A = this chain, B = another copy of it.
Amino acid sequence: MATVTLIEYKVASAEVRAVYDDIMATRKTDRINNFWKALAHHPPTLRRTWESVKEVMAPGALDPLTKEMVYLAVSASNGCDYCIASHTASARRQGMSDEMLGELMAVVGMANETNRLANGYQIEIDPMFLSPSS
């Protein structure tokens, strides 16, 4: 159970409602997730986090599906249940198939394994990897 009260739209301040309205308009939905309702207890964090997420997840050199899968990969590595659940759903909406999810988690698992092998043996970085833009 959340350690702060979730702020529903109908009791929200004008400042919070403005963010909620932008979230719903941007995402073409009429609901607000618990994540934003919890952040709303501290309006500056709600606003800043939403604006950052909106900017970072917009289409660019990477497409929205790739961004959602990267978000899910990080969340799975960090063990954030909320973010895993919400970004698995978001990635599916963007077109992630079961096969793609399967391959994504396989890469996540393998990276977590080899990260610890490389650290565990304190392996020196090959000089060829050490030039920027290499």
How many copies make up the complex?
Answer: 6
The listed residue with most B CB atoms (<10 A of its CB), out of A4, A81, A89, A116, is A116
Q: A24 within 8 Å of B by Cβ? A: no
Dominant secondary structure at the A interface: helix
Q: A12 within 8 Å of B by Cβ? A: no
CB of A111 within 8 A of CB of B61, answer no
CB of B4 within 8 A of CB of A76, answer no
A92: contacting residue among B80, B118, B133, CB under 8 A:
B133
Q: A106 within 8 Å of B by Cβ? A: yes
CB of A70 within 8 A of CB of B107, answer yes
A116 to B5, CA, bound (A): 17
Q: A126 within 8 Å of B by Cβ? A: yes
CB of A119 within 8 A of CB of B56, answer no
| A positions within 8 Å CB-CB of B | 1-5, 33-35, 38-39, 41-42, 44-45, 48-49, 52-53, 55-57, 60-62, 66-67, 69-86, 88-89, 92, 97-126, 128-134
